Amino acid sequence: MDHCQQKLPFSFFLIIFCLATLVSSHSRPYSTPSVTHLTDSFPHVPIDSAFSNAFGATNVKFLSHGSMATLALDKISGSGLVSKNRYYYGFFSAAIKLPAGLSPGVVVAFYMSNADKFPHNHDEIDIEILGHDKRNDWVVQTNIYANGSVSTGREEKFYFWFDPTQQHHYYSILWNNYHTVFFVDNIPVREFKHSNTHLSIYPSKPMSVYATIWDGSEWATHGGKYPVNYKYSPFIVSFAEMELSGCIADPTASISSCSNSNHPSQIDPVNGAEFTKLSQQQIAAMNWARNKLMFYSYCNDRTRYKVLPPECH
């Protein structure tokens, strides 16, 4: 910055240099921590056979023999996919390439929910990628609901350390009886622990997996300040390398179980010792992400919560 403060002749190169040094910190390239790639531990599933159309079917296209899918948002409709199975615990991941260009109001989501089956007490685990403002910018938001407690949303928001529109990046959810962990490119950005003292706020019922793009103009970008500008539509998001390694819930069973040794699909694949808690390497990576890139946490929102939720203490 000292160079910019000197009284040097105005020149094109000086202007470029000064502007470059004023770029916001979240758009600078970061040297990311080394972590175990959990996405290498689970198989990919064919998207066209693992998912059904949830809405906007004309805006859904399957590519590369069903291993990839594109979803579009236009003036008529958004679009979405829903898994054919419901899962009770597991590892769920997708490689996602976001729409390029101006994207305020656009929401791309990879999430789990059972709102269709439990409309009044549903669970939800969300990765929502939000068009951020009038620049070509995105942020990633995580959220958790349990037993219909949507009024107590537990959002946390992060800037990216890369351009999510240039290529596919991994967005993953680990959900088991011990904790729920959100990952971006295998780096944990958030851990929500299952505590015996807060059972009612932990997702506990089988859920479907969704991949969607839709119009979030009313809330997504600075509380609705910037709506979707359809002059730039269609907005197209690409999903690939989908992983759905979970305990498949038996639709005929009255009680969910993940320990049926007679049915391999009903065994929890993330119940081993390596999944019960984060490694020291993962904890260090998560601390890096939260210190460098998190810019909102509900636990710090004193305006919204006069009394902080119990898990924040």
- Residue 51 contacts residue 57 (beta carbons within 8 Å): no
Cis peptide before 119 (omega within 30 of 0): no
Choose, from 128, 191, 218, 241, the residue flagged as catalytic. 128
- Residue 175 contacts residue 125 (beta carbons within 8 Å): yes
Q: Active-site residue 191, yes or no?
A: no
Helix (H/G/I), strand (E/B), else coil: 65: helix
Token reading at 208: 């479907």
Dihedral angle of Cα 33, 92, 143, 201, to the nearest 10 degrees: -120
Distance, CA of 98 to CA of 74 (rounded, Å): 15
Choose, from 124, 156, 191, 274, the residue flagged as catalytic. 124
Q: Active-site residue 124, yes or no?
A: yes
First CA to last CA distance, the chain: 40
Cα 115 from chain centre: 18
Cα 22 from chain centre: 29
- DSSP string computed for 16-37: HHHHHHTS-GGGS---PPP---
Supply the DSSP symbol for 15: H
- Specify the amino acid at residue 145: Y
Neighbours of 231 (CB within 10 A): 6
Using alpha carbons only, give the angle 58, 64, 69 rounded to the nearest 5 degrees. 40
Neighbours of 219 (CB within 10 A): 11
Nearest to 26 by CA among 166, 143, 157, 169: 157
- Residues assigned a catalytic role: 124, 128
